[in-house]
């Protein structure tokens, strides 16, 4: 065999080794970051929840996700340990939330009882129409069944 035929295989193996090494380095960094968690530090989970660490255990952490609300997460679910300034900025967001998709309230022109009575009348009419349609479609089906005998 000549070296030209082995060169592509050598390159593929080299690239795979580099990619594996890079992934291991990232895993090592993430593990050291998780090991640095201490009670009182802010974290972001892989689901995007911002929480405060209350207790660190061997494989889990107790997080306070809201005042008085505690949850237990595995350490691998922690995406980042946040610096104190970033945690405060995310938790104490001073920007008011606005919702553009909020439905506009319709003014109530009729009293509630009149609207309820009108809805009842429509419901009764809908049921009667459905019964008539069922009777109309059932009759031809019955005739076809009788003709098949």
Could you tell me the residue ranges of all domains in the chain? 1-35
Looking at residue 105, what is its pLDDT? 60
Question: Can you give the pLDDT at residue 86?
Answer: 86
pLDDT at 69: 93
Q: What is the pLDDT of residue 53?
A: 93
Rounded average pLDDT over 71-95: 86
Tens of pLDDT along 125-147? Answer: 776 777 666 655 655 655 665 66
DSSP of the chain, one letter per residue? --HHHHHHHHHHHHHHHHHHHHHHHHHHHHHHHHHT--TT-EEEETT--EEEEEEE-SSEEEEEEETTEEEEEEGGGEEEEEPHHHHHHHHT--SPP--TTPPPPPP--S-HHHHHHHHHHHHHHHHHHHHHHHHHHHHHHHHHHHHH-
Q: Is the pLDDT of residue 88 over 90?
A: no
pLDDT above 70: percentage of residues in the chain: 65
* pLDDT averaged over every residue in the chain: 77
Residue 74's pLDDT is what?
Answer: 92
For residue 125, the model assigns a pLDDT of 73
Joined tokens for residue 90: 């995310």
pLDDT at 64: 93
Summarised one tens digit per residue, pLDDT across range 21-78 is 888 888 888 787 777 788 998 999 999 899 999 999 988 999 999 899 999 999 889 9
**How far is the C-alpha of 27 from the C-alpha of 94, rounded, in Å?**
35
Cα separation, 57 vs 95, whole angstroms:
35
The answer on pLDDT for 110 being more than 60 is no
pTM beyond 0.75: the answer is no
């Amino acid at each position: 065999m000549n070296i030209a035929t082995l060169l592509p295989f050598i390159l593929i193996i080299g690239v795979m080794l580099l990619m594996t090494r890079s992934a291991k380095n990232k895993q090592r960094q993430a593990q050291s970051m998780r090991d640095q968690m201490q009670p009182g530090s802010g974290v972001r989970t892989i689901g995007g929840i911002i929480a405060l660490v209350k207790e660190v255990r061997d494989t889990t952490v107790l997080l306070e996700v809201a005042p008085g609300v505690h949850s237990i997460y595995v350490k691998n679910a922690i995406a980042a340990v946040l610096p104190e300034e970033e945690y405060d900025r995310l938790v104490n967001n001073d920007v008011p939330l606005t919702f553009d998709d909020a439905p506009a309230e319709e003014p109530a022109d009729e009293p509630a009882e009149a609207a309820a009575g009108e809805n009842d009348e429509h419901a009764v009419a809908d049921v009667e129409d459905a019964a008539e349609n069922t009777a109309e479609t059932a009759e031809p089906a019955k005739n076809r069944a009788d003709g098949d005998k």
